[in-house]
Amino acid sequence: MPTQIGYGYVKGATEITKFIDLPIPEPGPNQLLLKIEAAGLCLSDPHTIIGGPLAPKPPKPMPTKFVMGHEIAGSVYRIGKDLEDKPQFKPGSRFALQINQACGACEFCRRGDDGNCSESSQAYGLNEDGGFQQFLLIKNLRTLLPIPDNVSFAEAAVCTDSVLTPFHAIQKVRDRIKPSSKVLVQGCGGLGLNAIQILKQYQCHIVATDLKPDIEKVAKSYGAHEFYTNLNDSKHEPMSFDVIFDFVGIQESIDISNKYIKRRGTLSQTGLGRYKFKMPNFTFAFREVEVFYNFGGSSAEQLECLQWIAKGWIKPNVQLVDFEKLPQAMQDLTNNKIRGRVVFRPNKL
């Protein structure tokens, strides 16, 4: 059987593991083999190495080894015999993948919220084989989302998380965002920069913060009206922001939100910088602050994100890195040396 190269999780390892003899599977009758054209790197990847994979739904056991990479785009390489009469799956067709393996039949899936599927907790690259390899067997065809012609594989790959997650977070509170709204975006990494571009379409006043001063130029080019490395050094008054998006998720960012959110303001919490932190329960209560937590998004939202990219409303900040440099890129990401989103091309060794 032919083999391929990949990178992934091995229980007990302290860094990502290189696999040099992964078998290239043959698709079954209703399956297809996807040639990986782009796979994005995310902070969830080093988090997986440190904290372990996403827990599967029992009785499925916790995996001890799998290929990582959850931001995936590719082209159909080979199809099973039962797909030969389905032109949408012909070889060469371009798809991005929905990360979670939604069932399509549960209560949440049937109402369009398949990002919260209650019957499956399987996710590409987070607890089963993902995109840090050259070919991926697709068993669940509903995870395949077509890529518009004028969207690149790299853009489509990061769209599955880096664009989808802030898009989902913003859609949940969009009725609170008006042209007169003052909105704070904390953290201008991959998600935050895309959030700024999305928020620009709502014509609100956007204030961005990040500890890295060199991010200011790109943040403003994407639509931020103001940028600060420390909001406390600005002229903004406490309790003056209508909506705050926290893409950092540490105690310090929570403290900033507590200081600057208005009465009856909205806090959208997305960043996963820490596993735990303390929320200011009493002050949020008497100010009637609404807090929303976010994780990923639905397939319908992902398709919409791809259309936004196709229209030029979102231009993901991506940099292509050689696949064999993946371990170093992950280390650089952990050490805060990465700007924007890193994307690998596994079939371009």
Fold category of 3-146+317-344 in CATH: Quinone Oxidoreductase; Chain A, domain 1 (3.90.180)
What is the structure's pLDDT at 349?
A: 45
Query: Which 3 state secondary structure label does DSSP give 287?
Result: coil
Give the global pTM. 0.95
pLDDT digits (tens, 9 = 90+) for 66-88: 999 999 999 999 999 999 999 99
Residue type, 133: Q
Q: Which residues pair with 66 in a beta bridge?
A: 9
pLDDT < 70 regions, the chain: 348-349
Question: What Rg do the C-alpha atoms of the chain give, in angstroms?
Answer: 20
What is the structure's pLDDT at 337?
A: 86
Query: Which 3 state secondary structure label does DSSP give 257?
Result: helix
- For residue 121, give both structure tokens: 């907790």
Per-domain residue ranges for the chain?
3-146+317-344, 165-293
For the chain, what is the total number of helices (H) and then of strands (E)? 10, 16
What is the structure's pLDDT at 348?
A: 67
Gap between the Cα atoms of 235 and 253, Å rounded: 18
Residue type, 318: V
pLDDT digits (tens, 9 = 90+) for 284-297: 999 999 999 999 99
What is the structure's pLDDT at 339?
A: 85
pLDDT digits (tens, 9 = 90+) for 124-179: 999 999 999 999 999 999 999 999 999 999 999 999 999 999 999 999 999 999 99
Q: Among residues 151, 174, 103, 76, which one has the least CA distance to residue 309?
A: 151
CATH of 165-293, one of 3.40.50.720, 3.30.1490.20, 3.30.390.50, 3.40.50.12780: 3.40.50.720
Q: Are 165 and 177 in contact (CB under 8 A)?
A: no
Q: How many CA atoms lie within 13 A of 244 on its CB side?
A: 30
Q: 247-283 b/e with 16+ CB inside 10 Å = b?
A: bbbbeebbebbbbbbbeebbbbbbbebeeeeeeeeee
- For residue 163, give both structure tokens: 């664009």
